[in-house]
């Protein structure tokens, strides 16, 4: 939807011309899964699906927000009394973000907001972080807060951790804020150092939503975190970022097998992520292909977060791509999406094999999105 249409809709609801329209992208993680909360490396790209927020200031301390994607539901609250809303759960992303922003910047005032997005929800493409960063962008612009992308990402993460109640890492918010068009972003989740790597213009990002609803998510996600923390503790390191395979093999005899395998995934995934980033810089798709394939096997066998329909998608797409591209599960796991880096001339073949085989095997219909790497909300 273009800005002019959104402005007209805003004017119809609020009776005034909006001051601005802000956009924040969703993301897909190319490689580096569950490494973020272990202070490791991730390699996401911002995608051309996201959240738009249309806004004006108010002359009181009220936030009045309309969600186009929820049948124009309206939600209002006062900046002086921001409580969790059990009725309209979508509003808690706005409430949480505004609460942490107000605590950091006293100058934040009221606003009229119209929100819409096209990131598939529940698919593991981070519609929530896109929503948070778009709200932060609009509020920081309205109130001239000079908020940078890293601070915005930390505030978005804090809102999700402390108000919404999901213990996510920093990756989703940071790529939505700081992604670069045409590039993936290597993020060091320990130092927040960012390095952008050009994606080959011969390839496209293809996201296949398995439409297996992520049944996890919170209990298994939190269990994986605990197992990783147990592994780090048994290895005597602050986080698995500090661990090596030599250390892990030496300690294996003293570890529960499940903790060993969880730690093995994280340690090897960090290495794969660095290798894939370096390989992409020189156009070495064979190495990228191997790294993505090994990542999927590790998620399936060591971290145990894939499901059979996802494994089948990876299998049939890999048969099409071979070493010319890569494919793996992406996101938290237990459903959600597969990501492929596919040569442009093989995208149709990927679509075809999914449409031809996936439903017959699994009973699920897949949705396919061909994406470009896009600009983050706070990227210059």
36 vs 127 pLDDT, higher one: 36
CATH of residue 78's domain is 3.30.230.10
Find residue 367's DSSP bridge partners.
209
Catalytic option among 36, 172, 302, 318: 172
Range of the domain at 94: 3-198
* Alpha helices by DSSP H, the chain: 3-14, 91-104, 127-142, 149-159, 171-178, 218-235, 245-251, 257-281, 285-301, 308-321, 347-362
Is 72 part of any domain?
yes
In tens, the pLDDT along 322-372 reads 999 999 999 888 888 999 999 999 999 999 999 999 999 999 999 999 999
Is 364 part of any domain?
no
Is 285 part of any domain?
no
Return the number of other C-beta atoms located less than 10 Å from residue 315's C-beta: 13
pLDDT higher than 70, residue 109: yes
Average pLDDT over residues 227-238: 98
Is 118 part of any domain?
yes
How many domains does one find in the chain?
Answer: 1
pLDDT-derived band of residue 321, with 50, 70 and 90 as boundaries?
A: very high
pLDDT higher than 90, residue 128: no
| pLDDT at res. 120 | 72
d(CA 115, CA 138): 11
Is 215 part of any domain?
no
Residue 172 annotated among the catalytic residues of the structure: yes
Is 327 part of any domain?
no
Is 342 part of any domain?
no
Q: What is the pTM of this model?
A: 0.90
Is 219 part of any domain?
no
């Amino acid at each position: 939807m273009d800005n002019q249409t959104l402005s007209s809709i805003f004017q119809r609801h609020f009776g005034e011309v909006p001051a601005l329209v802000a956009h924040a992208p969703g993301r897909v993680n190319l490689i580096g899964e569950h490494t973020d909360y272990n202070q490791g490396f991730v390699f996401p790209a911002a995608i051309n699906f996201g959240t738009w927020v249309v806004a004006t200031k108010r002359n009181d301390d009220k936030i009045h927000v309309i969600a186009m994607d929820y049948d124009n539901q309206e939600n209002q609250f006062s900046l002086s009394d921001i409580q969790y809303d059990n009725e309209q759960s979508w509003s808690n992303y706005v409430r949480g973000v505004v609460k942490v922003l107000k605590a950091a910047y006293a100058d934040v005032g009221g606003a009229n907001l119209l929100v819409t997005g096209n990131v598939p929800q529940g698919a593991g493409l981070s519609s929530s972080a896109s929503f948070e960063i778009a709200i932060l962008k609009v509020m920081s612009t309205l109130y001239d807060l000079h908020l940078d992308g890293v601070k915005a990402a930390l505030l978005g993460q804090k809102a999700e951790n402390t108000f919404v109640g999901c213990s996510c890492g920093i990756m989703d918010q940071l790529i939505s804020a700081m992604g670069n068009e045409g590039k993936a972003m290597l993020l060091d989740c320990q130092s927040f150092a960012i390095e952008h790597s050009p994606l080959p213009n011969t390839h496209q990002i293809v996201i296949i939503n398995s439409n297996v609803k992520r049944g996890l998510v919170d209990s298994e996600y939190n269990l994986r975190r605990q197992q990783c923390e147990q592994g780090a503790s048994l290895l005597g390191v602050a986080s698995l970022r500090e661990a090596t395979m030599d250390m892990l093999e030496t300690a294996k005899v003293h570890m529960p097998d499940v903790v060993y395998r969880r730690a093995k995934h994280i340690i090897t995934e960090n290495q794969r992520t660095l290798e894939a980033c370096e390989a992409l810089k020189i156009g070495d798709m064979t190495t990228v292909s191997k790294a993505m394939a090994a990542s999927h096997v590790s998620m399936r066998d060591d971290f145990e977060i894939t499901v059979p329909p996802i494994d089948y998608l990876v299998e049939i797409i890999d048969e099409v791509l071979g070493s010319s591209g890569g494919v793996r599960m992406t996101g938290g796991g237990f459903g959600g999406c597969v990501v492929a880096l596919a040569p442009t001339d093989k995208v149709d073949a990927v679509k075809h094999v999914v449409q031809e085989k996936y439903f017959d095997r699994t009973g699920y219909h897949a949705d396919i999105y061909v994406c470009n790497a896009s600009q983050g909300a706070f990227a210059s």
